[in-house]
Amino acid sequence: MTPHILTRSLDRGAALFLVVLAALGVLLPLLNLLTPESSALHVPTYLISLFGKYVCYAILALSIDLIWGYCGILSLGHGAFFALGGYAMGMYLMRQIGSRGVYGNPVLPDFMVFLNWKELPWYWYGFDMFWFAAVMVLLVPGLLAFCFGWLAFRSRVTGVYLSIITQAMTYALLLAFFRNDFGFGGNNGLTDFKDILGFNIQSDGTRAALFLLSCLALAIGFLICRAVVTSKLGKVLIAIRDAESRTRFLGYRVESYKLFVFTLSACMAGVAGALYVPQVGIINPSEFAPANSIEAVIWVAVGGRGTLVGAALGAIVVNYAKTVFTSGPLAPYWLFMLGALFVAVTLLLPKGIVGTVNAWLDSHKPPPTDAADSAAREDGVIQPKPAE
């Protein structure tokens, strides 16, 4: 079954995307590790981490495109799943610090000692083991998405109403994680990480490996999404997106389909967050900010909704622009820029970058032969008209 799904899902654009991704994923770390700093080809470590961050955003964008582009579910709270994955990883990294913290407590993270806590809360148990944290990275966002989706989709909450409650969800989590007594470090979040799986988190080698892993995760996420959208299930998703009620009258259980992609998408977002945290070195409640989730939706719109490749590209392009912008004198105006970008894309490039390129390529293909149409005219009264 699996090889079949994979081969079917690879068209030329997808293959190109994977090749470029593989090349970057291998080349950049090599240029970082193997070339001397004086070399023109040298890629500094801070760039590796920066690109690694973009790649994590690309995974998040991909997860949003899967539900929004293919199933019409506009989640404005996907940053919450990203942040939860990030917190799960952050908890593992916190426990790796051990007695090297400021207070030197072998079990309790610094912020707990500071709060005068005597014991590790039960929900921190197990996070000293990487495998456990890795499972939680998928399980926590997945479970939240499943419960949230089960309630929302069964009650047929759709459209803006759904978007609004997803915003409410991430906002509620923001407030909860801000509280010190919630047990996740309050507004400082989790930081001062030392190592991951025994490797120094600051070292060039670890950074390079994390970047490579992020690229790998993006590639795998992309392949999973492709497999989903090119299967018959993908056709059902598009049917739901375009005519939800009609799909029901054909006997499809729409809420099950939505629940499936929503949960899958949340797990992907969780993985993105988990890879993001060791590369930026911190996770705090601001990752739950409703604006973050909205920004991620803009990446997808810019790159091209319903194209997968476009979502990833959009995340990278917009975030690169953000880095350039916010490091210059125009920094205070970034949000205006982002807003303007969104308006411009909506008005001028409603299909996004990749969608527009695809449409252009399609319209420049050699026209199909007329044989089909004329044959229809001979034997049928209903004449297919040319597409235009």
Partner 1 sequence: MSMLETRSTSAMLYLDGVHVSFDGFHAINNLSLTLEPGEMRAIIGPNGAGKTTMMDIITGKTKPDKGEVVFDGTVDLTKLDETEIAKLGIGRKFQKPTVFESQTIEDNLLLALNVDHSVRGTLFWRRSNDESERIERVLDIIRLRDARDRLAGSLSHGQKQWLEIGMLLAQDPKVLLVDEPVAGMTDVETQQTAELLREINSHDKTVMVVEHDMTFVRELGVKVTCLHEGTVLAEGTIDDVSANERVVEVYLGR
What residues make contact with partner 1 under the rule CB under 8 A? 1, 4-5, 228, 231-233, 235-236, 238-239, 242-243, 245-254, 256-257, 260, 372-373, 375-376, 379-382, 384-385, 387
Q: How far apart are the C-alpha atoms of 60 and 266, rounded to whole Å?
A: 9
Whether the CB-CB separation of 261 and 73 falls below 8 Å is answered with: yes
Q: How far apart are the C-alpha atoms of 226 and 307, rounded to whole Å?
A: 10
Which residue number, 252 or 325, has a Cβ lying nearer to partner 1?
Answer: 252
Instruction: State CA 35 to chain mean position distance.
Output: 32
Instruction: Give least dist CB 260 to partner 1, A.
Output: 5
Which residue number, 4 or 100, has a Cβ lying nearer to partner 1?
Answer: 4
Instruction: Give least dist CB 93 to partner 1, A.
Output: 35
Three-state DSSP class for 191?
strand
Which residue number, 181 or 378, has a Cβ lying nearer to partner 1?
Answer: 378
Query: H or E segment at 203?
Result: none
Q: How far apart are the C-alpha atoms of 256 and 262, rounded to whole Å?
A: 10
Q: Which residue has the tokens 């806590």?
A: 117
Whether the CB-CB separation of 26 and 185 falls below 8 Å is answered with: no
Q: How far apart are the C-alpha atoms of 77 and 311, rounded to whole Å?
A: 17
Instruction: Give least dist CB 84 to partner 1, A.
Output: 24
Three-state DSSP class for 36?
coil
Which residue number, 258 or 322, has a Cβ lying nearer to partner 1?
Answer: 258
Which residue number, 250 or 348, has a Cβ lying nearer to partner 1?
Answer: 250
- The tokens describing 51, both together, are 């690109």
Instruction: Give least dist CB 102 to partner 1, A.
Output: 49
- The tokens describing 168, both together, are 């409410």
> What are the strands, taking DSSP E only, across 329-374?
none
The pairing of strands 282-283 and 190-191 is antiparallel
Which residue number, 238 or 289, has a Cβ lying nearer to partner 1?
Answer: 238
Instruction: Give least dist CB 386 to partner 1, A.
Output: 8
Instruction: Give least dist CB 50 to partner 1, A.
Output: 36
How far, in Å, are 192, 320, 333 from residue 16 at the CA level?
38, 21, 35
Which residue number, 343 or 376, has a Cβ lying nearer to partner 1?
Answer: 376
CB atoms within 10 A of CB 167: 19
Which residue number, 26 or 375, has a Cβ lying nearer to partner 1?
Answer: 375
How far, in Å, are 135, 277, 287, 349 from residue 282 at the CA level?
20, 6, 10, 36
Instruction: Give least dist CB 217 to partner 1, A.
Output: 21
